[in-house]
Amino acid sequence: MAAEETGAGVTIVDPALEQQAKPLADSLIADKAASRLAAQDPTLWGTEAEAEAAIRLSWTTLHKSSRPLIGEIEALRTELRSEGVDRVVLAGMGGSSLAPEVITGTEGVALTVLDTTDPGQVADALAGDLERTVLVVSSKSGGTVETDSHRRIFAKAFSDNGIDAKRRIVVVTDPGSPLAELSEQEGYRKVFLADPHVGGRYSALTAFGLVPAGLAGADVARLLDQAAGVADQLAADSEANPAVRLAAALGARHAQNAEKVVFADTGSGIKGFGDWAEQLIAESTGKQGTGLLPVVVESPEAAGFADAGADATPVAVGHAAAPAQLSVTGPLGAQFLLWEFATALAGRLLGINPFDQPDVEAAKKAARALLDQPSTSDSGAKPSFTDGAIEGYGLDAADLREALKSFVDSATGAPSAYLAVQAYLDRLDDASAAVLRPQLAKKTGLQTTFGWGPRFLHSTGQYHKGGHPNGFFLQLTGAAEQDLDVPDRPYTLAGLQLAQALGDGQVLAEHGRPVLRLHFTDRAAGLAQLVAALEDLA
Ligand SMILES: O=P(O)(O)OC[C@H]1O[C@](O)(CO)[C@@H](O)[C@@H]1O
């Protein structure tokens, strides 16, 4: 095994931060927090969190308990391939897709991930070779509307193409979930029941991470080896424990109002690690008006990292590169476990329960209420302005430039603000929208996040509503060129997508968060217009 394959390391680059983190690390060590966490002690986060923590800690030993899954996954993969089925499509949101996406991306193995309600993106996945496709439907709760919609759409498409749908659907869910029951009724090919004592964002090394990635061809046994290689290190009540160091450093920075944690990859060899860590950190800590806000940037040279201000902590995933204050090294399986330990320990330092997500449900409820209305086409709301291919909502302005100026001025005038771009678009066909993150960050000097809707609702969405109340939200929605019916449901994907944007916008506004929504009546033209208007912003 190469050196990179064993262990994990956290370097606190800044000597001043090392000193500031020391008392927090000492308190974790004195309280034996790491060894108690490894032993699944639910009392670490106070009495209010205890009941939930008691059913959420099995992830600390998954490197052992998940072993039997490896053979099962391999057997199913061999069987499917012998039938000519070698294209894996995964339907799953948040913790039910982020880990498999990073695992397969890192190994260079193909996996089509559906964590969207964009009709164009789903239509593109349907247009792939269905004869060779297996759909993995992953949902812990078994009730997530996006995943249920994908299952319905694919089941119909298989049948319409003369393919036996039940032989092409594999399910990962918790025992007793509505999806587990339905799978039995429908006779789906195989149901992997996951450990219910692991929450979604800690589930990378359960069936949720391993089944889709393993079916796609990733070496998932190696991931467990990598996690096993750091397990003892992470359970040690010692200054050498990288999770203790990381939690203490993040806790110390949080105490200095540097709650934004900016991630840049510095050659870790892991693809998209920030997207996975984003959910873990934001959903675990962003509540009760506090938390750590992950900001994932494009490179160490990107705006937000290279010029990080006093309100941010730049973290290198990989070797230390200026101006990173922290660097975290280790192979993917080790980093999964390290960040889970560190996040749970940071939760103790921040005084929150790292296992609930109290503000996620509100947006789901608001979206459901909109879907129940006869028309989901904006509920009759009139744009405050129309400018070329863009309609603006939520802010009184004559045109796009005035709206952007007013939005950006309020954010730059507010203490310690951050901007969040929320793009309810197609993350493949409209991928260029991601340029808005560095562009806005550079223009405003503010930490700026970017999320694809509704994917981010299951990740940073918790923080946006429950975390520090200093966010300014730029929602982007777009006209759909084509739409898809959701079989046996009274809505289409485009209707659901818009209801999710409007529902979350409503909840953000109820929480006093400023929201500007820009709707592209023509996606490409609207995006080009927005980029140009931002460029001209003084
Ligand atoms: O696996 P499920 O139950 O479909 O949930 C998906 C995601 O939704 C959330 O429950 C909340 O958004 C996440 O924590 C979870 O990873």
Q: Which of 56, 93, 115, 456 to probe ligand 1 with, by most ligand atoms within 8 A of CB?
A: 93
pLDDT for res 290 = 98
Q: CB of 200 closer than 6 A to ligand 1?
A: yes
Ligand 1 pocket mutation pick from 201, 340, 458 by most atoms within 8 angstroms of CB: 458
pLDDT per residue over 492-526, tens digit each? 999 999 999 999 999 999 999 999 999 999 999 99
pLDDT per residue as tens digits for the range 464-496: 999 999 999 999 999 999 999 999 999 999 999
**Pairwise CA distance, residues 250 & 273, whole Å:** 18
Task: Please state, for a pLDDT cut of 70, what percent of the chain lies above it.
Answer: 98
> In the prediction, which pLDDT does 361 show?
87
Return the best residue to mutate from 117, 140, 211, 460 for the ligand 1 pocket (most ligand atoms within 8 A of CB): 140
Distance 194 CA to ligand 1 centre (A): 14
Give yes or no for residue 2 having a pLDDT over 80: no
pLDDT at 3: 37
Q: Is 113 in the pocket of ligand 1 (CB under 6 A)?
A: no
**Confidence bin at 310 (pLDDT 50/70/90):** very high
pLDDT at 369: 87
Q: In which element (H, E) is residue 523 found? A: helix 523-536
Fold assignment, 3-39+235-350: Rossmann fold (3.40.50)
List the one residue out of 226, 204, 285 whose CA is nearest residue 467.
Answer: 285
- Tell me 348's DSSP state: H
The count of C-alpha atoms lying within 13 angstroms of the C-alpha of 225, restricted to the half-sphere facing its C-beta, is 10
CATH number for domain 360-536, candidates 3.40.50.720, 3.20.20.70, 3.40.50.10490, 3.40.50.300? 3.40.50.10490
3-state DSSP call for residue 292? Answer: coil
Q: What's the gap in Å between 432 CA and the centre of ligand 1?
A: 27
Per-residue confidence (pLDDT) for residue 429, from 0 to 100: 97
Asked if residue 464 has its Cβ within 6 Å of ligand 1, the reply is: no
- The answer to whether 453 touches 427, Cβ cutoff 8 Å, is no
Q: Record the tokens describing residue 506, joined without a space.
A: 């409503």
At 4, the pLDDT band (50, 70, 90 cuts) reads very low
- Give the model's pLDDT for residue 5: 56
What DSSP state is assigned to residue 236?
-
* 506 CB near ligand 1 (under 6 Å): no
Ligand 1 center to 49 CA (angstroms): 19
Residue-level pLDDT at 379: 54
CA of residue 213 to ligand 1 center, whole Å: 18
Ligand 1 centre distance from Cα of residue 126 (Å): 23
Atom of ligand 1 nearest to the CA of 141: 3
Q: What is the distance in A from the centroid of ligand 1 to the CA of 398?
A: 39
CB atoms within 10 A of CB 129: 10
CATH 3.40.50.10490 fits 61-223, yes or no: yes
Give pLDDT, residue 376.
47
Residue 105 and residue 271 in contact, taking contact as beta carbons nearer than 8 Å: yes
| Least confident window among 94-98, 108-112, 359-363 | 359-363
Q: Is the dihedral of CA 128, 131, 136, 137 positive or negative?
A: positive
pLDDT of 380 reads: 66
Nearest ligand 1 atom, CA 144: 4
Tokens standing for residue 467: 């975390």
ipTM field = 0.98
Please state, in angstroms and as integers, the Cα–Cα distance from residue 149 to each residue in 122, 416, 431, 494, following that order.
Answer: 10, 39, 23, 12
Distance CA 537, CA 532 (A): 9
Give the pair of three-digit tokens for residue 74: 């391999």
Q: 200 C-alpha vs ligand 1 centroid, how far in Å?
A: 6
Domain ranges of the chain: 3-39+235-350, 61-223, 360-536
Give dist(CA 430, CA 228) in Å, integer. 39
Please check whether the two domains, 61-223 and 360-536, share a CATH topology.
Answer: yes
Instruction: Name the one residue in this structure whose structure tokens are 């057997």.
Output: 75
pLDDT band at 367; cut points 50, 70, 90: confident
139 lines ligand 1 (CB under 6 A): yes
Kindly report the protein residue whose alpha carbon is nearest to atom 16 of ligand 1.
95
Distance from the alpha carbon of residue 246 to the mean position of ligand 1, in angstroms: 26
What spacing in Å lies between the alpha carbon of 278 and ligand 1's midpoint? Answer: 14
Residues 170, 189 contacting (CB under 8 angstroms): yes
Taking the centre of ligand 1 as the mean of its atom positions, its distance from the CA of residue 141, in whole angstroms, is: 7
> What would the pLDDT profile of 197-213 be if each residue is shown by its tens digit?
999 999 999 999 999 99
Polymer length in residues for the chain: 538
Residue 7 banded pLDDT, cuts 50, 70, 90: confident
Mutation to probe ligand 1, out of 360, 457, 464 (largest number of atoms < 8 A from CB): 360
Does any ligand 1 atom lie closer than 6 A to the CB of residue 144? yes
Residue nearest to atom 7 of ligand 1 (CA): 94
Structure-block tokens of residue 87: 């294209």
Protein residue whose Cα sits closest to atom 2 of ligand 1: 139
Residue 378 has pLDDT above 60, yes or no: no
Average pLDDT (145-155) is 98
Per residue in 51-104, pLDDT (tens digit) is: 999 999 999 999 999 999 999 999 999 999 999 999 999 999 999 999 999 999
364 lines ligand 1 (CB under 6 A): no
Q: Please determine, for residue 252, whether its predicted confidence score (pLDDT) is greater than 90.
A: yes
**What's the 365 CA to ligand 1 centre distance in angstroms?**
14
**Atom number, ligand 1, closest to the C-alpha of residue 208:** 1
Residue 76: per-residue pLDDT = 98
- 173 CA closest ligand 1 atom index: 1
Q: What percentage of the chain has pLDDT greater than the value 90?
A: 94
**CA distance linking residue 518 with residue 508, whole number of Å:** 16
Is the pLDDT confidence value at 1 over 50? no
Residue 47 makes CB contacts below 8 A (sequence gap 6+) with: none
Stronger pLDDT, 414 or 376, i.e. the higher one: 414
Of ligand 1's listed atoms, the one at least distance from the Cα of 93 is 6
Helix (H) or strand (E) holding 192: strand 190-193
Is a pLDDT exceeding 80 seen at residue 377?
A: no
- Check pocket membership of 458 for ligand 1, CB cut-off 6 A: yes
